[in-house]
Structure 1
């Protein structure tokens, strides 16, 4: 570790100068030799560095958004080459190159602040060795050695010998308890930051190398820092714990205010937005209007969370507009309740037989020929052919003259009125 820290010795002077400037401010409040003065100086150094790294953080967010925008194409590549992992990786790398997306951009903030981390480690190691460095002169060196954080000297380590700890006016038990607690907190905050990113702010419907990278960081980084932490001075542990807490808070802000499309965080955000819009019947901020505008612009390409949001607006009688505002709409309510506006029902098409039967009945009702035609049908059965009718007529008369009134045969369903043409012998019945 000392060898690696020595590579960044060129930046130790700026780092030590920043710490001294903050120490002069906090020393006037808490006393120059207190752990609060030196500890808060290190915390302020972290905050200053992280503020300077905000542009890199914005770049990281944009790169993450580009990765999310590529999710459909990545999914298509996975489906197309699901049996050829090598070709799948080649197509993924080609897609990254064409779109200018870097999957490793999430590591940029860590890589950018590593020189400051090692420079601070180098400064604290020199303080523990009673050597001046940068702008820290003899008087500041003695003040830093007297500073204790919860009983542990600023330059003490978990692995220090009892003699070295006693030279710093502290006990080995206090040093190990404080450093162990800080190492656990440092690793836990690192793990939680990556875990909330994986569980809440990643679209889990698509498996990508980006997700594998984040999962690796979630499990490997806490273990690495836990192992390395036993060799970190207390001041460096304060630095790394502070930067982890900053990262965790920054990540929570991004997840709550600008979640990844398709993630659980987006679902929670849109549910909160839906509740606010339905209560006030309007979108009350420009940023939220931009969110609604982006959802409307997607059209049929909306994900499940966005479709639920639009449906929730419709159930509340509201419709999202292309400019991000909402208006009251009765049509939206009808569509949300299970269908569009009721359409005019067309009459059911009847068969030809029913149409002919109905037209025959209407013609008979409108133009009766005589009284018998409108009388009720007779209940008497027809006499068999060739027999004598009850009226006393001959068999020939019965065949030649049809019975009046009810005896007149009605056409069958689907049959023409009047005399029927005889069927051809070869035709089927």
Structure 2
């Protein structure tokens, strides 16, 4: 089952490569970039739902704290009242997890696929190894120890920053800490991953940051129009 997912992902990357080839710019790097954009487009409805839910949860924080304080000795009653509040306001505390739950299998499958996709000995027969390089990276199946990890740090920081601003409009101390720790952690791991996977992560983070800006501005415009009406 899992191997079928990995094989399917390899074929999808190959299809995107064939698309770049038909455009006269054959490149597996571009294929991975186009694949990333396609994934983001498919996940956009979920991302928009996630951002709306996170924003709603942030607005409900004063009421949530009031309920917790009122029923601090009655945890079951507190939980019931909070679930009632979520239902009334259309908020879902678990909505933010859904895009991540979908994204993780893609990352693991891509990691497994790229380990052999560009391997000189074990690569699939349809792979054109002559196009396994991209910009400064000689082989997308091998780690890039410096440049891509640094780009990963910057892109992850940008994504997290825009996500925090889009959901809350401000950054608290916990978020500030995560803004520093998480990008560095991901960048450190990226040093050991196939460059193709790191490229996917960089592009996914960059597109996500832009997506957050668009969703935030759209929400502000809609809110402003609603208040005028």
State the TM-score, normalizing by the size of structure 2: 0.79
Deviations 1:174-223 (A, max 9, x none): xx3xxx2211221222123222443564166xx9xxx7875665344313
1:11 alignment partner in structure 2: 5
CA distance in 1, matches of 2:80, 2:106: 35
Aligned length: 224
2:142 alignment partner in structure 1: 156
2:201 is the counterpart of 1:291: no
Q: 1:246 to 1:26 in 2, by over 3 A?
A: same
Unmatched tracts of structure 2, length 5 or more: none
CA distance in 1, matches of 2:76, 2:181: 26
CA distance in 2, matches of 1:31, 1:216: 42
CA distance in 1, matches of 2:155, 2:197: 16
SS of equivalent residue, structure 1 residue 150: coil
2:17 is the counterpart of 1:23: yes
CA distance in 2, matches of 1:218, 1:105: 21
CA distance in 2, matches of 1:23, 1:200: 34
Unmatched tracts of structure 1, length 5 or more: 1-6, 159-175, 260-286, 296-319, 325-429
Alpha-carbon shift at residue 24 of structure 1 (Å): 1.2
Q: Is the CA contact 2:143–2:195 (under 8 Å) kept in the aligned structure 1?
A: yes
Name the structure, 1 or 2, with higher relative contact order (CA <8 Å, separation 6+): 2
Q: Is the CA contact 1:194–1:218 (under 8 Å) kept in the aligned structure 2?
A: yes
CA distance in 2, matches of 1:65, 1:291: 16
Instruction: Tell which structure's C-alpha radius of gyration is larger.
Output: 1
Counting only pairs closer than 5 Å after superposition, residues 223-234 of structure 1 correspond to structure 2 as 223-234=184-195
Higher helix share: 2
1:247 alignment partner in structure 2: 208
Q: 1:112 to 1:89 in 2, by over 3 A?
A: farther
Counting only pairs closer than 5 Å after superposition, residues 113-152 of structure 1 correspond to structure 2 as 113-129=103-119, 130-132=121-123, 136-137=124-125, 139-145=126-132, 147-152=133-138
Q: 1:149 to 1:62 in 2, by over 3 A?
A: same
